[in-house]
A and B are shown apart, each in its own frame.
Chain A
Amino acid sequence: MDIADIKRPENLVYRKPALITDNVMHYCPGCSHGTVHKLIAEVIEEMGIQDSTIGISPVGCSVFAYNYIDIDWEEAAHGRAPALATATKRLCPDKHVFTYQGDGDLASIGTAEIIHACSRGENIVVIFINNGIYGMTGGQMAPTTLIGMKTSTTPYGRDPKLNGFPMVIADMIAHLDGTAYITRQSVHTAAAVRKAKSAIRKAFEYSEKNIGLSFVEIVATCNSGWKMSPVDANAWMVEHMFRKYPIGDIKDVLK
């Protein structure tokens, strides 16, 4: 069969999600942020909740997330997305409210906001992009940076004596009674992408049940900050990041 005969509308099996805008993403080639945006867009489209979803974008490389997914957005000060989401959800309980945050944003400057939003059991979704580094500002160490990992502020590798230990946020918040669903996923293979999408869908569905906060961590790459090619960064993530941040569900109050 000719390629031209295959490329017919009736044979279409995958296309760019309808809610991903035509704006060219400013992300570096191969950056995980774009892949995760796509999954959020697909879930919102499939659930038919485009008009009832409000996203809160962070400070970090994904600050412009509002340019890429065609829904309503707010833009929070650094780390404060869970506070804005709290107010938004309480004022508009019928809306689906989610934050999208990097590890510098969520696990460093915004630690208080995320911990207390979890503890209060806010009925929001948190998408946490853990690439182990401050991508946007030039690759400085984050609380999530692995021991021995080289960053621009730990040029000889993270030394726990000097820089402390990596913070495993998802496991920490699992101890808080206000969290309903906590999972850790990745987007480096097609199978991983499918699982991550199901997890994001479940998180949005749980937020409708008013049973507490749902948290989807995506173990991600920052190939620019890590100073690797996108393909090498994915392999490095599997070998090193997954050891400290293993993939899988951590908590599900409905199971």
Chain B
Amino acid sequence: MAFKGAIEIDTAHCKGCGVCVTNCPTGSIRLSGMVNSKGYNYAEMTGDACIGCSACALVCPDSVITVYRVKI
């Protein structure tokens, strides 16, 4: 069974720590070149390989990632 996923990030409250990036098995999350109002390079979704596994969200200390997943 294959899954396709998507994430939504509360970029205003992301602290740009990067632990989500190293935990993503598909390279679907990266730190933006842009900063939020706190000056952090916030995380953003990249590409369309996300499988909705929630790994990024599970390790996010600030709980700013929401994950969606569908079976395909």
* Across-interface contacts of A157 in B (CB, < 8 A): none
Among B1-40, those with CB < 8 Å from A are 4-6, 8, 13, 15-19, 21-23, 40
Once bound together, how far apart are the Cα atoms of A24 and B61, in whole Å?
Answer: 11
- Counting residue pairs across A and B whose Cβ atoms lie within 8 Å, the total is 98
Query: In whole Å, how far is A99's beta carbon from the nearest beta carbon of chain B?
Result: 20
**Residues in chain B near residue A230, CB distance under 8 A:** 17-19
A34 contacts the other chain (CB 8 A): yes
Choose among A5, A6, A188 the residue that contacts B19 (Cβ–Cβ < 8 A): A188
Q: Are the C-beta atoms of A14 and B65 separated by less than 8 Å?
A: yes
Surface stretch bound by B, among A49-57, A90-98, A164-172, A189-197: A189-197
A15-23, A109-117, A148-156: which lies at the interface = A15-23
Q: What band does the interface of chain A fall in when counting residues whose beta carbon is under 8 Å from B?
A: 35 or more
Q: How far is the CB of B12 from chain A (nearest CB, A)?
A: 9
A188-215: which have CB < 8 Å to B? Answer: 188-190, 193-194
| B contacts with A, residue count (CB < 8 A) | 35
User: Does B66 lie within 8 Å of A190, measured CB to CB?
Assistant: no
Question: Can you give 25 A-B contacts (C-beta < 8 A)?
Answer: A3-B48, A6-B4, A7-B68, A8-B68, A13-B54, A13-B68, A13-B69, A14-B54, A14-B58, A16-B63, A24-B62, A29-B15, A29-B16, A29-B17, A29-B61, A30-B15, A30-B18, A30-B61, A33-B61, A35-B59, A189-B59, A190-B23, A194-B58, A229-B18, A234-B19
Q: Is the interface of B mostly helix, strand, loop or mixed?
A: mixed
A residues neighboring B (CB under 8 Å): 1, 3, 5-8, 11-17, 20, 24-25, 27-35, 38, 187-190, 193-194, 229-231, 234
Q: B36 CB to closest chain A CB, in angstroms?
A: 12
Chain B residue, CB-CB nearest to A230: B17
Residues in B whose Cβ lies below 8 Å from that of A231:
17-19, 21-22
Closest chain A CB from B2 CB (angstroms) = 11
Q: Which of A6, A24, A25, A229 has the most CB of B within 10 A?
A: A6
